[in-house]
Amino acid sequence: MPVDIVVPEMGESVVDARIARWLKKEGEPVAVGEPVVELETDKVDVEVPAPKNGVLKSIAHPEGSDVKIGDVLGTIAEAQASASAPPSAPAEPATSPTRSNERAVAATPSARRAAREQNVELAAVKPDGPRVTKADVQKTAPAPAPAAEAAPAVKARAPESPAPKPVARPDIAPAPDRFEERVRMSRRRATIARRLVEVQQTAAMLTTFNEVDMSGVMSLRERHKESFKAKHGTGLGVVSFFAKAVIAALREFPRLNAEIQGDEMVLKHYYDIGVAVGAPEGLVVPVLRDADRMSFAAMETAIRDVARKAGDGTLTLDDLRGGTFSITNGGVFGSLMSTPILNPPQVGILGLHAIKDRPVAVNAQVIVRPMMYTALPYDHRIVDGSEAVRFLVRIRELIEDPASLLIES
């Protein structure tokens, strides 16, 4: 009896997906648990496995189609019924001889995409783990050919005679490589675009700024970075200090750790801190659950792990689900000051920026200190302006006296 392949439940806020790639053709055999189709959501890519052994009898939606939770993607029939199954799709052109080999390789969706983009045969990639990841593909991809060095320019000696009269410039022919390209947005990029507009239309978003003297944190990191890494296997970064300070400040200003539901405020007495990291398809915000219970070492390890998973495309929906407050660090890209967008339904987000040496007045003297601008966008419907300012000032006080974080933690 045929069994349907359906779009699975994928957690809160994920209601639809896009079919990125069919891994099997109609008429091909499948084994229970074997990935049959890749779905692209606004958060992560998901492989849908076969619910039973048999053959792929039919495909209901082609690649690129948008589908919703519960939609039927295709059907699987008993193996002996394969003779009556509809004819398989036409053979693929000779330009893609490795597609059948690629289907047999255990790989993440992002690894398959990277292999196609970089013309790498998945079967030739040696994974570091049970499945080929994007990082494995990138290690196998051939390095780009070095650009030829330009010949050194010869400095001509200025003529002794008077400069010639200017000559009218001839018309410049347009460059031969001027062209436009139309590329469909990925599911994630389209959702990011929609939500960025929605949050500005639905939230009363304001931003308050401050600056922080990072001398204490930088000095502490410099003294302990070697022993910390030797003991815990990871570096001691800046974000963990701010995460600790945020949690302490949220305890004092609980409405920044809340959300609005109708006419009610939902005050959350737990601290799931989202940390924004860059991914190939756009920014994602993995969540450090119960971050208030984490040591510096546990927090740094967790941040390192989600950053790696974001890079190789192995983040799961559980990594991204929920979150009560977020931190984003534009300083890693060189940003000096910015206004991050709220991550709904959260009502606050802390923006970190580049640390720069600047002259500041200390005890009536001008001293150069490593300084950082911080930004706090907040939803004014639930958070008052004075509350937001005091929250950000409290974070500054804690960061400028990092020993106090041990007391507040």
Which of 210, 191, 239, 189 is closest to 344 using CA atoms?
191
Predicted confidence (pLDDT) at residue 96 exceeds the cutoff of 50: no
Same domain for 383 and 264, yes or no, is yes
CATH code of 251's domain: 3.30.559.10
pLDDT tens for 274-320 read: 999 987 777 889 999 999 999 999 999 999 999 998 888 888 888 88
Q: What is the mean pLDDT of residues 162-184?
A: 73
Q: What total number of domains does the chain contain?
A: 3
Position 82 confidence tier, pLDDT thresholds 50, 70, 90: very low
10 Å CB burial of residue 201 (0-12, 13-18, 19+) is exposed
Same domain for 123 and 29, yes or no, is no
Q: Catalytic annotation on 384? A: yes
Q: Catalytic annotation on 61? A: no
Predicted confidence (pLDDT) at residue 375 exceeds the cutoff of 60: yes
- Residue tagged active-site, from 305, 357, 384, 401: 384
- Residue tagged active-site, from 305, 318, 357, 380: 380
CATH code of 128's domain: 4.10.320
What is the predicted pLDDT for the residue at 145? 57
User: Any residues with CB less than 8 A from the CB of 202 and at least 6 apart, and which?
Assistant: 344
What is the predicted pLDDT for the residue at 208? 97
How many angstroms separate the CA atoms of 348 and 379, rounded?
A: 7
Position 244 confidence tier, pLDDT thresholds 50, 70, 90: very high
What is the predicted pLDDT for the residue at 13? 64
Position 190 in a domain: no
Same domain for 210 and 342, yes or no, is yes
Same domain for 276 and 132, yes or no, is no
Same domain for 6 and 135, yes or no, is no
Same domain for 324 and 252, yes or no, is yes
Same domain for 257 and 350, yes or no, is yes
Predicted confidence (pLDDT) at residue 100 exceeds the cutoff of 70: no
What is the predicted pLDDT for the residue at 405? 86
The residue range of the domain holding 317 is: 205-408
Q: For the chain, what is the mean pLDDT?
A: 84
Residue type, 41: T
Same domain for 258 and 124, yes or no, is no
Q: Which two tokens stand for residue 113?
A: 């995409």
Which of 89, 20, 103 is closest to 59 using CA atoms?
89
Q: What is the mean pLDDT of residues 180-202?
A: 82
Predicted confidence (pLDDT) at residue 147 exceeds the cutoff of 60: no
Position 162 in a domain: no
Cα dihedral 26, 28, 34, 35 sign = negative
